[in-house]
C-alpha cells in the first residue's frame, strides 16, 4: 500500500490538483466585452448554443485553458476567457474609515479624494515617502530557500503530506533551474 | 539543459510577435533596450539601486506584519522567479538574483518591482485576487520587470543615470539618500514604466507562471479582477495611471492564451490561496 503510494504518489497528486481545479469556483458575475458565441464545449469547433451580445451578464463557473464555463440564465456553455471581464471584484468591504472614504469615491467628484492617513498608496503618499531602510532589511526574515519554494509549489493544498513531490523528483533528477520548470510544466499540463 | 515541453512554449512565445499590432522586431527592440540598460550596472550595483528604490517605496507604506503571509508570497514568488531564463553579466556569468518578495500594508490595488530583485504586492491586491495562479501571474509580471531591466531602462530614459549612481554609492556605503535621489524614485513609481514594457511583462509573466505549473490564464483572471475597479477609487488610482487599460492588456494576451497555451490547464490553487489570505484578517 505504502509502496504503491510512493510510486503513484505524484500521479495521484496531479490528479488531485486537476480535480480541485475543475471544481466550480465561486460564481462571479462577468460581462461580455466582445460579442461571442456561447459554445457547448471549450473548443472553437464546438456547437454554438447562442450568441452573446456585448454587455450580456454571465456567471462564471470554471476556467479551462483559455475558456470560461458560464451560466447564462438556465443555460451553461463556454466562452473565450478574453471575451469577458469581471464586473464586481469580490472584495471584502473596507473597514472603519475605509467605508466612509469608499462612499466618497462614489460621489460626483471626478478626482480621487486625498487619502493621507489611510492605508492607500496614493500618488500623494508616494510624494511624501521618506526612505525606510529598516523595512527593506525586514524582508530578509521572510525570505525562503529555493527548496522551500519548490516543495510548497508542488505540494498543492490537496496533496497528502509525504507524497512524492515535485521537489523530491527534482532533487533526484535535476539540478538546473530551467529543468525544474520543464518538469513542472509536464506535470501540470503535458503529463496527463 | 533545454528541450522537452518548454522549448515548444518558448518558440510559441517568440512566434507570437508583438501580440495584436506589434511585430517580432518590436519585441527584439524591447529586449535590446533592456540589455543596453543592464550594461551600465554590475549585478551588485543593480541590487544597491533596488534597495534604495524599495526603501522609498516602503517609506510610503510599510510591510504587513505577518510572517506567515509574507513567507507564502515569497514561496510562490521564488518558485515563479526560478523559471526565468538567466541573463549573463558583462563577464558572461549568469546573473543570480537574491529575490525578496513583500506584501505592503496598503488597501491600494497594485504591485511593484525594483531593479535587483525586490517585488511587492499590496494587501489590497491580494484581497482582489482569487487564486494562487492569479498571484503567480502578477508576480511573474513584476519579475519580468526585473529580469528584463525595465526599471533600469526607465532610469536611463528619464535622464536619471547620475542620480542612480548616487543611490548606489549611498547604499553601498550605508549612507542616506539625498532629497533629489528620493525624488527620482518617487518620480519613477508615479510615472510608471514604458507601456511596451508592461505588455512585455504580461507576455513573459504568463510564461514564467506556466513553467511553474500554474494555469496560464491566472494573469488574465487577475487583470479581469482589477478591471472591475474604478478610476474614481483612490485604491485603483496609481494602478490605472501607470498601466495600459486592463481590457487592452487582456486583448493582447488573447493570441497567447487562445494559441499555444490553450491546451495547458495548470494549477490554480484557490483553496490554498484562500487559506493563506485568512492570515490577513
What pLDDT is recorded for position A151? Answer: 63
On chain A, the residues whose CB falls within 8 A of the CB of B182 are 129-131
Nearest CA in chain B to A107: B232
Tell me the mean pLDDT in the region A58-74.
86
Q: Do B125 and B109 meet the contact criterion of CB atoms below 8 Å apart?
A: yes
What pLDDT is recorded for position A132? Answer: 94
Residue B228 to residue A30, Cβ atoms within 8 A = no
Q: How far is CA B46 from the centre of its chain?
A: 16
Q: What's the DSSP call for residue A190? A: I
CB pairs under 8 A between A and B: 276
Q: φ and ψ at A80, to 5 degrees?
A: -65, 130
In this predicted structure, the answer to whether residue A184 has a pLDDT above a threshold of 50 is no
From A114, A66, A126, A142, select the one nearest B110 (Cα to Cα).
Answer: A126
C-alpha–C-alpha distance, residues B27 and B144, integer Å: 13
Q: Do B103 and B122 meet the contact criterion of CB atoms below 8 Å apart?
A: yes
Q: How far is A116 from chain B (nearest CA, A)?
A: 10
pTM beyond 0.90: the answer is: no
Query: Grid cell 515541453 — which residue?
Result: B5
In this predicted structure, the answer to whether residue B25 has a pLDDT above a threshold of 90 is no
Residue B56 to residue A20, Cβ atoms within 8 A = no
Q: What is the pLDDT of residues A124-153, one digit of tens each?
A: 888 889 999 999 999 999 999 888 887 655
Q: Do A123 and B190 meet the contact criterion of CB atoms below 8 Å apart?
A: yes
C-alpha–C-alpha distance, residues B257 and A82, integer Å: 8
Nearest CA in chain B to A182: B6
Q: What is the pLDDT of residues B238-281, one digit of tens each?
A: 888 889 889 899 999 998 888 878 888 889 999 999 999 998 87
Which range of A18-27, B122-131, B171-180 scores highest in mean pLDDT? It is B122-131
Q: Identify the H or E element spanning B261.
A: none
SS3 B202: helix
Q: What is the pLDDT of residues B210-227, one digit of tens each?
A: 999 999 999 999 999 988
C-alpha–C-alpha distance, residues A170 and B211, integer Å: 14
Give the strand pairing for A28-32 and A57-64.
antiparallel
Scan residues 36-75 of A and list those with Cβ closer than 8 Å to B.
63-66
Cβ partners under 8 Å of residue B65, min gap 6 = B105
Q: Which residue has the higher pLDDT, B161 or A16?
A: B161
On chain A, the residues whose CB falls within 8 A of the CB of B231 are 112
**CB contact, 8 Å: A137 with chain B?**
no
Per-residue burial over B194-212, b if 16 or more Cβ lie within 10 Å, else e, is eebbbbbbbbbbbbbbbbb
C-alpha–C-alpha distance, residues B182 and A129, integer Å: 8
C-alpha–C-alpha distance, residues A105 and A118, integer Å: 14
C-alpha–C-alpha distance, residues B211 and A183, integer Å: 8
Q: What's the DSSP call for residue B88? A: B
Q: How confident is the model at residue B76 (pLDDT cuts 50, 70, 90)?
A: very high
Q: Sort B185 into a burial class: Cβ within 10 Å, 0-12 / 13-18 / 19+.
A: buried
C-alpha–C-alpha distance, residues A78 and A113, integer Å: 40
C-alpha–C-alpha distance, residues B130 and B132, integer Å: 7
Residue B233 to residue A102, Cβ atoms within 8 A = yes
Q: What is the pLDDT of residues A165-179, one digit of tens each?
A: 333 333 333 333 333
Helices (DSSP H) in B39-66: which residue ranges?
Answer: 43-60
Question: How many CB atoms lie under 10 A from the CB of residue A50?
Answer: 12
Amino acid at each position: 500500500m505504502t509502496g504503491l503510494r510512493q510510486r503513484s504518489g505524484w500521479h495521484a497528486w496531479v490528479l488531485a490538483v486537476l480535480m480541485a481545479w475543475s471544481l466550480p469556483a465561486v460564481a462571479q458575475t462577468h460581462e461580455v466585452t466582445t460579442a461571442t458565441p456561447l459554445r457547448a464545449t471549450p473548443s472553437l469547433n464546438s456547437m454554438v448554443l447562442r450568441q452573446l451580445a456585448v454587455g450580456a451578464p454571465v456567471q462564471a463557473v470554471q476556467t479551462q485553458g483559455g475558456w470560461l464555463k458560464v451560466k447564462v440564465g438556465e443555460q451553461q456553455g463556454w466562452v473565450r476567457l478574453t471575451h469577458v471581464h469581471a464586473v464586481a471584484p469580490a472584495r471584502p468591504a473596507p473597514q472603519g474609515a475605509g467605508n466612509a472614504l469608499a462612499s466618497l469615491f462614489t460621489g460626483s467628484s471626478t478626482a480621487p479624494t486625498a487619502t493621507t492617513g489611510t492605508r492607500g498608496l496614493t500618488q500623494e503618499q508616494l510624494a511624501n515617502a521618506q526612505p525606510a531602510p529598516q523595512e527593506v532589511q525586514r524582508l530578509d526574515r521572510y525570505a525562503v530557500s529555493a527548496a522551500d519554494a519548490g516543495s510548497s509549489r508542488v505540494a498543492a493544498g490537496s496533496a497528502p503530506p509525504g507524497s512524492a513531490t515535485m521537489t523530491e523528483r527534482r532533487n533526484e533528477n535535476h539540478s538546473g533551474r530551467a529543468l525544474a520548470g520543464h518538469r513542472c510544466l509536464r506535470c501540470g499540463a503535458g503529463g496527463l | 539543459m533545454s528541450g522537452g515541453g518548454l522549448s515548444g512554449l518558448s518558440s510559441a512565445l517568440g512566434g507570437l510577435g508583438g501580440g495584436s499590432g506589434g511585430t517580432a522586431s518590436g519585441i527584439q527592440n524591447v529586449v535590446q533596450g533592456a540589455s543596453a540598460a543592464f550594461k551600465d550596472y554590475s549585478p551588485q550595483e543593480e541590487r544597491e539601486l533596488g534597495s534604495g528604490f524599495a526603501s522609498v517605496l516602503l517609506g510610503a507604506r510599510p510591510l504587513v506584519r505577518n510572517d506567515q503571509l509574507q513567507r507564502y508570497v515569497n514561496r510562490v514568488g521564488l518558485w515563479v522567479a526560478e523559471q526565468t531564463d538567466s541573463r549573463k553579466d558583462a563577464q558572461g556569468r549568469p546573473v543570480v538574483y537574491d529575490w525578496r518578495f513583500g506584501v505592503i500594508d496598503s488597501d491600494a490595488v497594485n504591485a511593484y518591482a525594483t531593479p535587483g530583485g525586490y517585488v511587492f504586492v499590496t494587501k489590497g491586491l491580494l484581497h482582489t485576487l482569487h487564486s494562487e495562479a492569479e498571484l503567480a501571474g502578477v508576480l511573474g509580471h513584476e519579475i519580468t520587470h526585473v529580469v528584463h531591466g525595465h526599471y533600469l531602462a526607465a532610469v536611463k530614459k528619464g535622464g536619471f543615470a547620475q542620480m542612480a549612481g548616487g543611490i548606489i554609492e549611498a547604499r553601498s556605503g550605508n549612507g542616506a539618500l539625498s532629497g533629489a535621489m528620493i525624488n527620482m524614485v518617487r518620480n519613477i513609481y508615479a510615472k510608471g514604466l514604458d507601456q511596451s514594457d508592461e505588455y512585455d511583462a504580461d507576455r513573459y509573466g504568463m510564461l514564467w507562471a506556466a513553467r511553474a505549473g500554474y494555469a496560464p490564464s491566472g494573469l488574465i483572471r487577475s487583470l479581469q479582477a482589477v478591471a472591475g475597479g474604478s478610476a474614481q477609487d483612490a485604491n485603483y488610482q496609481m494602478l490605472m495611471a501607470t498601466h495600459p487599460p486592463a481590457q487592452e492588456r487582456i486583448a493582447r494576451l488573447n493570441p497567447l492564451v487562445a494559441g499555444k497555451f490553450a491546451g495547458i490547464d495548470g494549477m490554480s490553487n484557490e483553496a490554498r490561496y484562500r487559506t493563506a489570505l485568512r492570515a490577513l484578517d
